[in-house]
Amino acid sequence: MTSLNKEQERGQWGSKIGFILAAAGSAVGLGNLWKFPYMAGKNGGGAFVLVYIIILFLVGFTLMLAEITLGRHTQLSAIGAYRKIREKWAWVGGLGVIAGFLILSFYSVVGGWVLSYLFKALTGALHESNPEVLGSMFGQLISSTTTPIIFHAIFMALNIIIVFGGISGGIEKASKIMMPALFIMIILLAVRSVTLPGAAEGLKFLFVPKFSAISTSVVLDALGQVFFSLSLGMGCMITYGSYIDKDTNLIQSATAIPLIDTGVALLAGIATLPAVFAFGFEPAAGPGLMFVTLPAVFSQMPLGGLFAVIFFLLVLFAALTSSISLLEVCVAYVVDEWKWNRGKATTIMALIIFLVGIPASLSLGPWANIHILPGRGFFDTYDFIASNVLLPLGGLLLCIFVGWIWGTENAIKEATSDGKVPFSLASAWVFLIKYVGPLAIGIVFVRSFMALFS
């Protein structure tokens, strides 16, 4: 069989814009729509945004380019990519596959909550302005035994349908629909939010930095948010990069993806924080911002029911564009390594992930007293192992591998279609991948791991 036929059998993106939308969709998720506004609210608004954008270019772009370049060069999933260059490093790719598997198992549970709230918004059940009532509603949902598992199953079924269709026919096609729709919906919400009386205070909070608010904690929170928001260290971008043709300029793509991701995060801040300020709610409301505070805000708006539907449909699309990339990491591994066909790999891997996610759901209700790590049930344990250990460790080792093992000269040559990169850009990226990236991610890793004992 020819090399071309092998590539066609494995799958490739149908277009450059298809890859960018799919990769940006992988990055755009609940971290943008919920966590970014919440982290901005917690860390002084504009001060956090300023630090976030600086770190985005220093660390986010650096690792994004490294991952997609490694993927395209090898045309293999995470484990195979490392093995092809240095066999003894294959286990580093394995960290990404395990991280994607674990994250999707609990991320799908949260995706189920979003589906449930979309149905509630459609039926008018969220038309309630009392945060205590809404808080009780949310608590009843996540602590229930069967309802969240049913929605967890529906959410995973949606992932199966999309990933089953392959790269260009499934993931790319879905991303080309969901990502533009996501932008339209979030712009509608942002316009509505900024036209509310008193919204100016929210915009000022978000975009006018108070330099006195910048602290070590703000910098570390921004660093962690950039790293996790861009789906780095979990094999997603290596896997997506492996489906790119050799004519695509990866530097342009690695620039566009973080910019789109940050654009959505900023729009999410504009769509939520001015409205929160306008109605006198707390901007640092934590997980309750999405499921308690914002429904209360919508209930007090003219046409609030419509905007609640738009918001939770937006969140569902964002959750799906991320979750399909996580499932694809696992599917690509099985297809490449075990030689299963895509249909079998997608169905079986999704079923296993669904089953592993059931304890995560139950740990917020009937199994709340079962602890795996100290003080953490299944849901929090999955989250901690993936987000605080596997992702930063995978990112740190990626920097070392590309910077020192594979070599930056090889990476730069692969990154462009003509092999030519401006000297200043190449020199800057080499310095960032060899020194700044490992140092920054090492700090995140140490800080995250210390959280286990805090």
Q: Give one DSSP letter per residue of 354-399, joined into a string.
A: HHHHHHHHHTTTTTTT--SBTTB-HHHHHHIIIIIIIHHHHHHHHH
pLDDT at 1 over 50: no
Query: SS3 of 283, please?
Result: coil
Identify the pLDDT of residue 231: 72
pLDDT at 4 over 60: no
Residue 199 DSSP code: T
Lowest mean per-residue pLDDT among 27-31, 317-321, 445-449: 445-449
What is the band of 433 on the pLDDT scale with cuts at 50, 70, 90? very high
What is the band of 10 on the pLDDT scale with cuts at 50, 70, 90? low
Q: At what angle do helices 46-55 and 216-229 cross, to 10 degrees?
A: 60
Average pLDDT, the chain: 88
pLDDT at 9 over 70: no
For residues 83 and 34, give the distance between their C-alpha atoms in angstroms, rounded to a whole number: 37
Q: Tens of pLDDT along 237-293?
A: 999 999 998 888 888 888 899 999 889 888 888 888 888 888 777 766 666 778 887
Lowest mean per-residue pLDDT among 208-217, 336-345, 389-398: 208-217
CA 225, 154, 309 angle in degrees (round to 5)? 65
Query: SS3 of 421, please?
Result: coil
Residue 33 C-alpha from the chain's centroid: 10
What is the band of 392 on the pLDDT scale with cuts at 50, 70, 90? confident
Q: Which two tokens stand for residue 231?
A: 């789906």
Task: Please name the residue that has the structure tokens 């999955």.
Answer: 382
pLDDT at 8 over 60: no
For the chain, what is the largest distance between any 2 Cα atoms, rounded to a whole number of angstroms? 66
For residues 369 and 374, give the distance between their C-alpha atoms in angstroms, rounded to a whole number: 11
Alpha carbon distances (Å) from 389 to 90, 92, 384, 386, 447: 18, 13, 7, 6, 10
For residues 141 and 163, give the distance between their C-alpha atoms in angstroms, rounded to a whole number: 28
Q: CB of 389 within 8 A of CB of 228?
A: no
Identify the pLDDT of residue 419: 59
Identify the pLDDT of residue 313: 93
Classify burial at 321, counting beta carbons within 10 Å of its beta carbon; exposed 0-12, middle 13-18, buried 19 or more.
buried
Q: At what angle do helices 250-278 and 173-194 cross, to 10 degrees?
A: 30
Identify the pLDDT of residue 388: 78
Least Cα distance to 206 among 105, 129, 141, 283 occurs for: 283
What is the band of 420 on the pLDDT scale with cuts at 50, 70, 90? low
For residue 141, the tally of other CB atoms under 10 A from its CB is: 19
What is the band of 369 on the pLDDT scale with cuts at 50, 70, 90? very high
**What's the CATH code of the domain at 51?**
1.10.4160.10
pLDDT at 2 over 70: no
Identify the pLDDT of residue 453: 66
Phi-psi region of 124 (alpha: psi -120 to 50; beta: other; left: phi over 0): left
> 376 pairs with which residues across the strands?
373
> 375 pairs with which residues across the strands?
none
For residues 410 and 203, give the distance between their C-alpha atoms in angstroms, rounded to a whole number: 44
Q: Tens of pLDDT along 19-73?
A: 999 999 998 887 787 778 878 888 888 989 999 999 888 888 999 999 999 999 9
- Mean pLDDT value of segment 392-419: 88
Least Cα distance to 261 among 51, 45, 10, 64 occurs for: 64
Lowest mean per-residue pLDDT among 59-63, 89-93, 195-199, 431-435: 195-199
Q: CB of 126 within 8 A of CB of 292?
A: no
Q: Is the entire prediction scored with pTM above 0.75? A: yes
For residue 256, the tally of other CB atoms under 10 A from its CB is: 18
Identify the pLDDT of residue 284: 62
Identify the pLDDT of residue 360: 97
> How many structural domains are present in the chain?
1
**376: phi then psi, degrees, rounded to nearest 5:** -125, 130
Residue 416 DSSP code: S
Q: CB of 328 within 8 A of CB of 156?
A: no
Give, rounded to a whole angstrom, the gap between the first and last alpha carbons of the chain.
Answer: 56
- Enclosing domain of residue 397: 3-453
Query: SS3 of 310, please?
Result: helix
